[in-house]
């Protein structure tokens, strides 16, 4: 559990403005570094921005560190980590914060993390804002409405990053959500010029599970290679399908595919600056943070049309969108952009402009409206 009141040096408070969050006490719950995921990146970023508005923030990690000997035994490690998280949560709420902000997702994460956070906040009379990040909400809400609906009814607000997910919540459980896109900082650097020739540098950054379709990306890259495209594919991420995907990559692409495993966030941002095209083949999705960060760096995206992706990538403007599961069409997108480097560069510049909609300056007022309106001090 981490407590801080000082704004980070790189996120000064806006000059000449008194923040309505100044002096408020907040608890932010979500995964934290060294785990690199969309949720951890968003939780860390929003924590930094709250502090830049001179709020006092207690950061409760859902993945607290545990002793190495215990970490080696998975069932014991999971129980220990969950027990430590619950202890940190209870201590944080005992500090009488003005509001709690929790990053939410489906399945076990909802049962083990979100439900206790919302219910314990309600028991303590502390407003709780639920930020739903996970992409598999439709199926989860359909199957578990009886459990989810009463929990979310206790929350002060449910915030989602896309209109797609807002529609899912409305249709499945009748919950109205605030829509605020993911926070994607402006890298404040020019998009590197695209090389007029040579191999096109592809990057795929996802958790290695079937839902995120890395196998579709491999097949798409093989389709493009079969059409004569010189390419190099780098895959960032880890997960249960790692070995099977490595084997599939060797068979389909040989030495043209490289797996880096999970990497620190700073390293991922460095990789983006050496990438021509981000490729995504997911079967279900919401607002992938890696996709937003790619666009902000001027890297266009070739992606399947899963979930909320069309809220992030504009077909023909910031990338190319093809039907979900269609590796042939996704491979065609890769080939088209490899052969038309001027189009690739144009999409990249447009992507940088569009991504400005997700900077702190763009989403600040929306978040302040949610946090301040639901805080105990202002609501009272």
Q: What is the pLDDT of residue 31?
A: 95
Identify whether the C-beta of residue 254 lies closer than 8 Å to the C-beta of residue 221: no
Q: What percent of the chain has pLDDT over 70?
A: 94
> Does the N-terminal peptide bond of residue 42 adopt cis geometry, omega within 30 degrees of 0?
no
CATH entry, 200-357, from 3.40.50.2000, 3.10.580.10, 3.40.440.10, 3.40.250.10: 3.40.50.2000
Mean pLDDT calculated for residue range 93-112? 97
Q: 95-99, 195-199, 215-219: lowest mean pLDDT where?
A: 195-199
Average pLDDT, the chain: 92
> How much is the pTM?
0.92
Relative to beta strand 56-61, strand 301-304 is unpaired
Query: Three-state SS string across 242-294, please?
Result: HHHHHHHHHHHHHHHEEEEECCCHHHHHHHHCCCCEEEECCCCCCCCHHHHHH
Give tens-digit pLDDT for 181-202.
999 988 877 776 788 889 999 9
Secondary structure (3-state) at 298: coil
Confidence of residue 378 (pLDDT cuts 50, 70, 90): low
For the chain, give every residue range classified as CATH 3.40.50.2000. 2-183+360-379, 200-357
Give tens-digit pLDDT for 304-341.
999 999 999 999 999 999 999 999 999 999 999 999 99
Relative to beta strand 178-179, strand 200-205 is unpaired
Q: 31-40, 57-66, 164-173: lowest mean pLDDT where?
A: 31-40
Phi, psi of 231 (to 5 degrees): -140, 160
Nearest to 306 by CA among 183, 195, 165: 165
Relative to beta strand 277-280, strand 301-304 is parallel
The Cα-based distances of 323 to 24, 76, 310 in angstroms read 46, 42, 11
Q: 2-183+360-379 domain in CATH 3.30.360.10?
A: no
């Amino acid at each position: 559990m981490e407590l801080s009141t000082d704004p980070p040096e790189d996120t000064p408070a806006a000059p000449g403005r008194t923040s309505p969050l100044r002096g408020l006490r907040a608890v932010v719950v979500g995964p934290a570094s060294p785990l690199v995921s969309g949720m951890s990146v968003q939780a860390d970023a929003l924590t930094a921005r709250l502090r830049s508005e001179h709020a006092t923030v207690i950061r409760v990690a859902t993945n607290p560190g545990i002793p190495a000997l215990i970490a080696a035994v998975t069932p014991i490690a999971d129980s220990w980590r969950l027990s430590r998280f619950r202890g940190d949560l209870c201590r944080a709420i005992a500090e009488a914060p003005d509001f709690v902000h929790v990053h939410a997702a489906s399945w076990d994460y909802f049962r083990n993390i979100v439900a206790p956070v919302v219910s314990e906040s309600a028991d303590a009379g502390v407003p709780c804002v639920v930020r739903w990040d996970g992409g598999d909400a439709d199926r989860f809400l359909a199957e578990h409405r009886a459990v989810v609906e009463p929990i979310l009814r206790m929350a002060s607000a449910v915030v989602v990053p896309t209109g797609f997910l807002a529609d899912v919540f409305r249709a499945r459980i009748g919950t109205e959500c605030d829509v605020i896109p993911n926070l994607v900082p402006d890298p404040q650097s020019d998009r590197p010029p695209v090389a007029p020739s040579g191999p096109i540098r592809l990057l795929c950054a996802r958790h290695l599970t079937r839902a995120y379709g890395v196998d579709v990306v491999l097949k798409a890259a093989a389709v493009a290679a079969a059409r004569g495209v010189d390419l190099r594919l780098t895959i960032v991420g880890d997960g249960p399908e790692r070995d099977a995907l490595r084997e599939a990559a060797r068979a389909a692409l040989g030495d043209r595919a490289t797996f880096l495993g999970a990497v620190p966030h700073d390293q991922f941002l460095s990789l983006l600056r050496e990438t021509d095209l981000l490729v995504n083949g997911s079967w279900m999705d919401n607002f992938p943070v890696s996709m937003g960060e790619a666009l902000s760096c001027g890297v266009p995206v070739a992606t399947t049309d899963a979930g909320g992706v069309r809220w992030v990538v504009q077909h023909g403007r910031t990338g190319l969108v093809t039907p979900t599961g269609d590796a042939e069409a996704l491979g065609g997108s890769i080939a088209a952009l490899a052969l038309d480097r001027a189009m690739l560069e144009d999409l990249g510049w447009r992507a940088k402009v569009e991504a400005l909609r997700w900077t702190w300056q763009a989403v600040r007022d929306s978040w302040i409206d949610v946090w301040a309106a639901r805080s105990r001090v202002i609501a009272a």
